[in-house]
Structure 1
Amino acid sequence: MSSLSIIIIGGGAAGFFGAITAAETFPTATITILEKNRTVLNKVRISGGGRCNVTHACFDNRQLLKQYPRGEKILRPLFNQFDATNTVEWFEDKGVPLKTEADGRMFPSTNTSETIVDCLLRTAQRLGVQVRTSCGVSTLEHKDGRWQLLLLSGETLSADRVLVATGGHPQRSAYGWLPDQAEDLIDPVPSLFTFNVPDSPFLSLAGVSVQDAKVYVVGTKQEQRGPLLLTHWGFSGPAILRLSAWAARDLATRHYQFTLRINWVPDLSENDLRLLLQDFRQQNGRKQVVSQNPCKIPSRLWTAFATESGIEEPQRWADLPAKSLNRLIERLTNSQFKVAGKSTFKDEFVTCGGIASGSLNLQTMESKSQSGLFFAGEVIDVDGITGGFNFQSAWTTGYVAGKHIGL
């Protein structure tokens, strides 16, 4: 009897993890990874600024689930099989210890993504997994009890089982090669992006960051709080990226044209801020408003707020008109900016949408309607915020698919 033949479509994090798990679980199976690009694990290589943010030090799965704008339903049962604790143990078992940074992100102790790439390549090779690059799949269909794959090169392959781990795609058409009776598809839209604000008065302050700001999409209930970064094109930083993820569908329907509201002093109510500024004025009446900043924001940004409020450089606190003070308070608590488009966050493109979780067996990652067809990674409608959460869902879904694909 011939050995079980398994083909993994996609040589990224989920594909490799699925292949390795399958090889460890079903050692007699023949396992092949097909990657359309000339190299594998490209996203692993570039992520985290070339350091690879492997996972997040969030070992309470109830908290971990809250980091996924889409995916809580699908990941809840999957984390019972393989979670962040398992990820850390898996890599340490392979000789790759991870370190935790102050914000909870976990990286290889070597501080280079090549350590993760080498680990996955070496482990796959040791287990006999075949890796073929420049092998894009044109069509996939089930005929005569087996899966038939037509490659872009014209070559045909067949397999008993197939794992689709092709990552996220921004266009629905990118999923067109899947079988005719393919799973329900949630329209893909981008997630995790920065905001373009061409009319921002702060473009010259690119590189200035605020440790704590609250950001809102006006006209929706979408809001987030955290560090914010001023850029040459508008705004970025964790608060913006989280907002882009949670509001991904809202922003897509608005074609990325919307009003962003920012509260730069979220710990203070408008009244508290007024009392703070009035008290500061009494204590520092002779000092210039532009250069004396009572708020916990960068001095360059404070100067810009003062200028925006019509406060000239010689203006002293003691002589500050009530109208100027009101304008300053309004800008600090309720700045509004016209967003006109988005930019990809570094090279880490993430998709909201893909294969609907309802069409999969959430214990195995197998299609409910098509026996022998499995899915893992970002091709599914799962996406996390920044911080290692997208890789964690790749390891988890890849592991579960690999564990069950040979049964």
Structure 2
Amino acid sequence: MMTVAVLGGGAAGFFGAITCAESNPHLRVVLLEKTGKLLSKVRISGGGRCNVTHAADTAAQLVQHYPRGAKQLKEPFKQFGAVDTVRWFERRGVRLKTEPDGRMFPTTDSSETIAQCLLQAARVAGVEVLTQTTVEHIEPLAEGGFQLTLTGAHAQILPAARVLIATGGAPKSEQYEWLRRLGHSVQEPVPSLFTFNVPESPLRELPGVSVPRARVRVAGEKLEYEGPILVTHWGVSGPAVLKLSAWGARRLHELQYQSTALVSWIPDYTEDTLRQQFAAFREQHGKKVVTTNPLFGLPQRLWRTLSEHAGIGPETRWNELPSKLQNRLIENLLRTALPVRGKTTYKDEFVTCGGVALSEVNMQTMESRRVPGLYFAGEVLDIDGITGGFNFQAAWTTGYLAGQAMAKAA
């Protein structure tokens, strides 16, 4: 039997292996994982619920959420998009539900449901899964195909007609050296999807406070994002910060994660409209104490902190508020300055910007343009999405296309 080797026991690797084995039962499909754990990222994602994909009917909707790879993913998403992902899992007994923000999870709210579905589909399709097995060397053969040198639990020389690399992203450039030796260029890896560390934060006494819609901007840069924000023990997090970090991954890396983040807690307001709102409120509720009567639906603790940082005393009423202190409050509401001094990985969800250059991959089949018979899928490619199920969708899509292509080529 002709052998197809799949490197990496994550989402993209499993999807590629399953698709290949289902599409061509005459192939021997071997999935190789260097650790003892399979689908580890699937299991921890979405707080243990697994954000499988995002509700999007068209490829055009999907590609808007990829800082790297958007243009190149448009055609692949037409072949296998979010709707196809939902159908794929439903055909195997797993139903997905859509949350108000568009994220899709299994109805069980358990990532184990997704992991077990993939493991079962691999078993049924006849995929051989070898764990604790490292691929030490891949040698392309002159007559076609490859020779893989395996070490670990299943040490052997494994001949393979096709090889799919789905080893995920890596934080250090040198971890891609083996791919460079195969003839590929690599876009330098830098972190994406991270939170901001603000050790001198004026909000440090407010961990757990969240605002459903705020705007975060990096001072002096064309980088901003709007969405929910969460105050943490170490700084700020939430979708607005995470998505900003993805779009600005390379620039923030150049800045060595030292910048000033400006937060507008009420992004629908300008200085002028805010002054008008204050004037109207003062006219109707002039005797109310400023610090204890939050406006705009902002959390009480946040409002009080912003007011106190403006120099407003605990007994000051609206009809006593000096214009100087009102101006400071306006500044705090529209541009709270947070001195960012570093970053923190979001939970355990490690995402990199960077990887194998997409110009060297046929995005219809995921086959290398440099090495015939070599395929790529998932985060090993220079593709990354913002938070919300987009990185998994890229994994399912690229894995599916690679699996189909390898099955046909064999």
Same fold (TM over 0.5): yes
- 1:165 corresponds to which residue? 166
Tell me the distance in 2 between the aligned counterparts of 1:178 and 1:210: 43
Aligned residue runs from structure 1 range 165-314, under 5 A: 165-178=166-179, 180-314=181-315
Q: Shift in Å at residue 257 of structure 1?
A: 0.7
Indicate conservation of the 8 Å contact 1:139/1:179, yes or no.
no
Alignment correspondent of 1:136: 134
- Give the 3 Å change call, closer, same or farther, for CA 372–211 of structure 1 in structure 2: same
Q: CA deviation at 1:180?
A: 1.8
Q: Retained in 1: the 8 A contact 2:58–2:81? A: no
Partner of 2:396: 395
Q: 1:73 Cα shift? A: 2.0
Report the Cα offset of residue 138 of structure 1.
2.1
Q: Within 2, Cα distance between the matches of 1:258 and 1:156?
A: 50
- Give the whole-Å Cα distance in 2 for the aligned partners of 1:351 and 1:303: 38
1:149 partnered with 2:148? yes
Comparing 278-287 and 194-203, the one that deviates more: 278-287
From 44, 47, 61, the counterpart of 1:46: 44
Alignment match, 1:385? 386
In the alignment of these two chains, the number of paired residues is: 405
Which amino acid in 2 is paired with 1:5? T
Task: Map 1:86-97 onto structure 2 (within 5 A).
Answer: 86-97=84-95
Shift of 1:295: 2.2
Letter of the 1:8 partner, please give it.
Answer: V
* 1:356 counterpart residue number: 357
Q: Which of these residues, 98, 113, 116, is aligned with residue 114 of structure 2?
A: 116
2:384 aligned counterpart, secondary structure: coil
Question: Out of 1, 4, 9, which is 2:2 matched to?
Answer: 4
Q: Is the CA contact (8 Å cut-off) linking 2:352 and 2:384 kept in structure 1? A: yes
The answer to whether the Cα contact below 8 Å between 1:141 and 1:147 also exists between their aligned partners in 2 is yes
Alpha-carbon distance in structure 2 between the residues aligned to 1:310 and 1:136 = 61
Amino acid at match of 1:103: D
Comparing 226-235 with 173-182, greater Cα deviation is found at 173-182
The Cα offsets for residues 258-288 of structure 1, whole Å up to 9 and x where unpaired, read as 1111111110111000111122112111111
Report the CA distance between 1:177 and its aligned residue.
Answer: 2.1
Asked whether the 8 Å contact 1:277–1:294 carries over to 2, the reply is no
Q: What do the CA deviations read for 1:131-168 (whole angstroms, capped 9, x no partner)?
A: 01111222222124331222343643221110000000
Contact 2:180–2:186 (8 Å) recurs in 1: no
Mapped to 2, the partners of 1:182 and 1:395 lie a distance apart of 25
The TM-score normalised by the length of structure 1 is 0.98
Specify the alignment match of 2:319 in structure 1.
Answer: 318
Contact 1:87 1:395 in 2 (8 A): yes
Q: Contact conserved, 1:140 with 1:179, CA < 8 A, in 2?
A: no
CA deviations on 1:355-383 (whole Å, 9 max, x unpaired) are 01100011100000100000000000111
Once superposed, what is the RMSD of the aligned Cα atoms?
Answer: 1.1
For residues 315 and 342 of structure 2, the distance between their equivalents in structure 1, rounded to whole angstroms, comes to 38
Shift of residue 81, structure 1, vs aligned partner:
1.0
Confirm or deny that 1:18 pairs with 2:19.
Answer: no
Cα distance in 1 for partners of 2:389, 2:114 equals 13
Higher deviation after alignment, 98-107 or 160-169: 98-107
Secondary structure at the residue paired with 1:198?
coil
Secondary structure in structure 2 of the residue aligned to 1:301: helix
State the secondary structure of the residue aligned to 2:97. strand
Tell me by how many angstroms 1:179 deviates: 5.8
Partner of 1:214, secondary structure, is strand
Distance 2:307 2:285 in 1: 16
Gaps of 5+ in 1: none
Structure 1 CA distance for aligned equivalents of residues 229 and 355 of structure 2: 29
SS in 1 for 2:65: coil
Provide structure 2 residue ranges, at least 5 long, that are not aligned to the other structure: none
CA contact (8 A) 1:141 1:178 kept: no
Moved more, 286-295 or 119-128: 286-295
Verify: 1:35 aligned to 2:24, yes or no.
Answer: no
Between the aligned partners of 1:171 and 1:150, the Cα distance in structure 2 is 23
For residues 169 and 107 of structure 1, the distance between their equivalents in structure 2, rounded to whole angstroms, comes to 26
Whether the 8 Å CA contact 1:140–1:178 is kept in 2: the answer is: no
Which position in structure 2 is the counterpart of 1:70?
68
| Residue 335 of structure 1, CA deviation | 1.4
SS at match of 1:37: coil
Alpha-carbon distance between aligned partners in 2 of 1:205 and 1:369, rounded to the nearest angstrom = 53
Q: Identity across aligned pairs (percent)? A: 53
